[in-house]
Amino acid sequence: MKQHIYYNIFAVIGSYGGYLFVNRDRKLLTTGLLNKSFFNLQG
């Protein structure tokens, strides 16, 4: 089941990839939030 959760996380990040690329001003902030959420789920 954990693998499915990770696949969903990667799918969400991929779907936001284009959005982040267009909005570079928010890229660092959003990426930081995604990284924090990812590490919290791993914890």
In a domain, residue 42? The reply is: no
In a domain, residue 27? The reply is: yes
In a domain, residue 22? The reply is: yes
Q: Is the pLDDT of residue 43 over 60?
A: no
With tokens 């089941």, the residue in question is 1
> Which residue range forms the structural domain that includes residue 25?
1-34
Confidence (pLDDT) at 22: 60
In a domain, residue 41? The reply is: no
In a domain, residue 40? The reply is: no
Confidence (pLDDT) at 19: 66
In a domain, residue 19? The reply is: yes
Structural domain total, the chain: 1
Is 41:5 a contact under the CB 8 Å cutoff?
yes
Chain segment 1-40, per-residue pLDDT in tens = 677 777 777 777 777 776 666 666 566 667 777 777 777 7
In a domain, residue 11? The reply is: yes
With tokens 């991929």, the residue in question is 14
